[in-house]
Each structure stands twice: as structure tokens, then as C-alpha cells.
Amino acid sequence: MKNPIISVIVPCYKQAQYLGEALNSILNQTFKDWECIIVDDGSPDNTREISEIWIKKDSRFSYIHKENGGLSSARNFGINAAVGEYIVVLDSDDYFESDFCEKAIKIKKSNESYYKIICCYTIRFNNEGSLNVFKPLGGNIKNFLFHNCAIGNSLFSKNDWEDVGGYDENMKQGYEDWEFYIRLLQNSGIAFVIEEPLFNYRQKKSSMRIDANKIKYELWEYIFTKHQALYMANYGDLLGFLIEKLKREEKEKIKNRNRLEFLIGKRILAPVRFLKSKLK
């Protein structure tokens, strides 16, 4: 029996209530030559039971369990077990449209070495419905120096993953996708963005992305330090980025200070205006 072309890796930790929707989006892919590995990252919920239901539906699904180690660890664990030439990572609370794999693999195969990452536009949604469409920029390493210009749920080759050493398992608090993409693109290639909303991202009040943004300066420091040679080679861009960041923050401080002074002044003057109105 020949190996599947695509291995879809679905890490799951405390997201069992959404897992079925994620797996259903894989089952319904128009591209059929896949395997899907559900990685139970020591989840305390019923991830195993949900997974077994889907394995009974289709033998292309499989389940593996590991001790909790975070998203990077779970992805690496699943990719290590994968036999497909190409990897698609899918978070267990999100889902793809049915033609993502078909379109992504066609683009990837059209120029293997140039198209390192294949992603797409993303529909952000919550319990009330769609919120907006996020359109990542994609592009080469220059675009990825200061922002993640792709989405975390993308297609890439297993060989490339091996060549750069996989996801950084020290990054347990977020931005692991961005750092991984920096290594994928550092020497060559681009991230290609399919200009269609083929991915659905569940926007929750609490999420790893929201938590990561709260400590973004610590995560920036880790990434900039780890890739010091890259950033020194692009020193002008780094300096420009930091100065622009400082300017924006200074402008925001002035705006907030003016707003506060206006509110204080308005409250102080309110009694005076009241008395004036009574004395007329």
C-alpha cells in the first residue's frame, strides 16, 4: 500500500468539543490521498473517545497520545509519525474549506523549491457568525522579519520541516508558527497565499494568540536573539521597524494624555458651568 501524499496533523488539547468539525473538514476534502493524525497532547477531556469515532468512520484517521508538551511539541510528534510527503497542520478548533488541499498541493507541486509555504485567506468567526476576512501578505523572508505574513495552518513539505529542525519546542506561549516560517524562508523561497477564504479561524475570548499578544515583546526578544545574524544582516530594516514602533507608541501616549486632560477639565468645569447657569 503506497503512502498518502498529504499528512494532516491535528493537535488537540482541551478542544474536543470542536474536534469533530475540524476532522469533518478533512474527510470532505476534494483531494482524497491523505492521512490524518490526531495528536492528543495529554488532553484531560474526551479527545480519545471523539477520535475513535472518526477512526471507525474512515481508516485514514489515526490517533496518537503523548504527555502534554505544548503546540510545537504536539505538531513535531505528529509530523514525526507522518508518512506523507507534504504536511498540513490544522488546529483542532478550526477547519478548512473542502478544496484547500487540492488547490494547495497543485501550487506546491508547480514549483517545489520556490513555494515553501502554501496558505490562504482566512474567515474569522465566532458563535455569532463571520467577523471578517484576514488576508495574509505572504512573500519572502523580508516580509517575515517583523510579522507573520502567513497563517499557522498551512501546507509545507516534510523534508523542509526536517531540514530546519521542526517547530521550536521552547516556544510554548505563541508565535511558534512565525519563528518556524522564518527558518523555512531564511535561505530561499516564498510563502504563497491562495487569494480565497479557504480556512476558518475560530475567534474565542481566550486563546493562545490573545495570550501571546500580551507578552509579544518577550517573544520578539526571543526570536530576534535566536536569529541575531539574520536581523543584523537586515539592520536598516530592524532600526526602521523599532523607530516606527516608538513613534506610534509616543503618538498614542500623547493622544491618551490629551484625552485624559480633556475629561479631567470637563469634570472640574462642570460645577462652575452649573453655577453660572443658575446665576443667570
What are the tens digits of pLDDT across the range 102-145?
999 999 999 999 999 999 999 999 988 889 999 999 999 999 99
Predicted confidence band at 258 (pLDDT cuts at 50, 70, 90)?
Answer: low
Say how far apart CA 10 and CA 39 lie, in whole Å: 6
Least confident of 159-163, 177-181, 252-256: 252-256
For position 243, what pLDDT does the model report? 86
- Mention every residue, 6+ apart, whose C-beta is less than 8 A from residue 87: 6, 7, 8, 9, 79, 155, 156, 157, 158, 161
On the question of pLDDT at 51 being above 70, the answer is yes
Bridge partner list, 34: 6
Output the pTM of the full model. 0.86
b/e code 188-216 from CB counts within 10 Å (16+ = b): ebbbbbbeebbbbbbbeeeebeeebeeee
Pick the residue with more confidence: 206 or 180?
180
Residue ranges of domains in the chain, CATH in brackets:
6-233 (3.90.550.10)
For the chain, the first-to-last Cα distance in angstroms comes to: 95
The answer to which of 1-15, 50-64, 246-260 has the lowest mean pLDDT is: 246-260
pLDDT for residue 204: 79
Span of 16-20, 90-94, 235-239 with lowest mean pLDDT: 235-239
In this prediction, residues 204-226 reach a mean pLDDT of 80
pLDDT at 251: 78
How confident is residue 277, by pLDDT bands cut at 50, 70 and 90?
A: low
Q: Which of 58-72, 176-190, 251-265 has the lowest mean pLDDT?
A: 251-265
Strand 86-89 with 115-126, pairing: unpaired
CB 9 within 8 A of CB 87: yes
For residue 280, what pLDDT is reported? 55
**Burial of residue 174, with CB atoms counted within 10 A of its CB: 0-12 exposed, 13-18 middle, 19 or more buried:** buried
* Residue 150 clears pLDDT 80, i.e. is over it: yes
Q: What is the mean pLDDT of residues 198-216?
A: 78
Long-range contacts of 168-173 (CB under 8 A, 24+ apart): 168/72, 168/226, 169/69, 169/70, 169/72, 169/73, 169/76, 170/72, 170/222, 171/70, 171/72, 171/219, 171/222, 172/69, 172/70, 172/71, 172/72, 172/73, 173/208, 173/211, 173/212, 173/215, 173/218, 173/219
Q: Where are the alpha helices (DSSP H) in 116-234?
A: 158-164, 176-185, 208-214, 216-226, 228-233
Query: Percent of the chain scored above 70 by pLDDT?
Result: 88
Matching residue, cell 485514514: 60
Instruction: Kindly indicate the confidence band of residue 170, based on its pLDDT and cuts at 50, 70 and 90.
Output: very high
DSSP β-bridge partners for residue 20: none
CA distance 189 to 105: 16
Of the candidates 247, 268, 178, 272, the one whose C-alpha atom is nearest the C-alpha of residue 216 is 178
pLDDT at 261: 56
> Parallel, antiparallel, or unpaired for β 190-202 and 115-126?
parallel
Q: What value does the mean pLDDT of the chain take?
A: 91
